[in-house]
Homo-oligomer: A and B are copies of this chain.
Amino acid sequence: MKTVRVAVAGLGVVGSETVRLLRSRRESLARRLNAKLELVAVCDRAIHSKARGLRLPAKIKRFSDPSRLAACGADIIVELLGGLPAPRSLVLDCLRRGRHVVTANKRLLAHCWPELRRAQSHGSLHFEASVAGGIPILKALDLSLAGDRIEAVGGILNGTTNFILTRMSEGLGASAALKKAQELGLAESDPSRDLNGQDAADKVSVLASLVTGSWQKPDRIETQGIEGIESQDIAFAQSVLGRRIKLLGMVRLKDRGVEALVCPFLVPLAHPLAAVRDEFNAVLVQAASAGELMFYGRGAGAGPAASAVMGDICVAARDILSGVRAEAAADRHAEARPASSPWSFYLRLAALDRPGVLSSVASVLGRRGISISTIHQPGATGSRSVPIIITTHPTSAEDFCRAKREILALSSVSRQHMIMRLLP
């Protein structure tokens, strides 16, 4: 029986679980692959305590410096280090040596896509775990739907914020919901990349780059997190609009244009995404022939991420065993340019509680040609400032932003505001 040698860099929760699975599922994997998957090396900054914790046999090589892993004799290198510089040099080095690399590092992919793709003409790169954890969305897009035409892909890509929004919809305040997520290990001690949408934007970048075949830089993806969402938005969305607030990451393709964005959406209660609760993820795909598909599952956690990593290890092992040569990465839509489409918007303002405010806001929108769907001004709260909540009919984001700036410049309107979009 042939042997495929595997090395794992980074023994955090996902790395440790991957090592555990490589060892505990050894026999069933050997039956499946008709070959042995052998763990030959591990690497971690705190290698001694980590290797002891995992009770690794002495024959497995241990490194604390990831740069030594590329030459350790492994056929497949699994990169689960986290961060950017060390993973980048490890992955590029391994690929250039013709190795197969598995990574869950969405930041690395989002920020270094072109050089990774170029390096892939030597070795092969697998990254199912980088988007939506245990949900096999990337292979679905890359293989199963290879002959179809993807029109849109996106959904709930960040479990932390979905957990927080779920708790808020049950009445918890934003900071209490975050604290709950941290207690349960669903949010990091510094949750800013989750809350501000950057984590989701990295995933949207990976999805968009994969689907279009050309790099969609994260800094060109319009990104808004959940930080400005208040309990009154959630309550208003549910009771008045019959909608739930979800942070969605989305890629839409039209002709050769790409619209990519991350922002809070008001989702109709009957929409499948409205039912996705807690830390679960869900990805919708709109394809020309297959129609609408939905993939639902756990987007984070040691088990789901390790499941995706193990799947990639098996695919890489099959490629090695069957003698696949690495594919030169074709830039399919090198000319993909940014695009945007009309959306219905939600705008919450804080205004002075005096006559004429509403009409001055409405007249700005009217002048800009933006059609109002609803205006709500909940009863005065006794304070000087009252909320005004406006929803619009579909309008271009540029027009809406211009109108918003004019409205916020009105003397009777505070700078504080919240914008979301309505999912049709």
Contact = CB atoms under 8 A, between A and B. Distances in A.
A322 B333 CA distance: 22
Contact of A213 (B31, B297, B301, B333): B31
A21 B255 CA distance: 17
Interface stretch (A107-115, A140-148, A178-186, A369-377): A140-148
A303 to B, nearest CB: 4
A298 B288 CA distance: 12
Given A290-B134, A293-B295, A324-B324, A146 B31 contact: no
A84 interface: no
A287 interface: yes
Interface string A267-290: 000001001000000000001111
A310 B148 CA distance: 7
B294 A296 contact: yes
B146 A310 contact: yes
A134 B289 contact: yes
A222 interface: no
| Residue of A140, A146, A310, A322 contacting most chain B CB atoms (<10 Å) | A146
Chain A facing B: main interface SS? mixed
A296 B97 CA distance: 40
A145 B311 contact: yes
A296 to B, nearest CB: 4
Contact of A327 (B147, B313, B322): B322
Given A143-B311, A144-B139, A146-B314, A291 B287 contact: no
A324 B148 CA distance: 23
A297 B325 CA distance: 34
Nearest to A293: B297
A128 interface: yes
Given A29-B147, A322-B327, A323-B325, A290 B307 contact: yes
B148 A307 contact: yes
A135 interface: yes
A36 interface: no
A292 interface: yes
B294 A295 contact: yes
Contacts of A309: 147
Contacts of A135: 293
Contacts of A324: 322-324
A303 B327 contact: no
A151 B312 CA distance: 20
Contacts of A145: 136, 307, 311
Interface in A118-156: 128, 133-136, 139-140, 143-149
A328 interface: yes
Contacts of A17: 289
A211 to B, nearest CB: 11
Top 8 nearest A-B pairs by Cβ distance?
A147-B310, A136-B144, A134-B290, A146-B314, A289-B307, A290-B307, A293-B297, A294-B296
Given A148-B311, A288-B303, A289-B310, 6 more contacts: A32-B213, A134-B289, A140-B140, A143-B314, A146-B314, A324-B324
Interface of A: 17, 21, 25, 28-29, 31-34, 128, 133-136, 139-140, 143-149, 213, 272, 275, 287-298, 301, 303-304, 306-315, 318, 322-325, 327-328, 330, 332-333
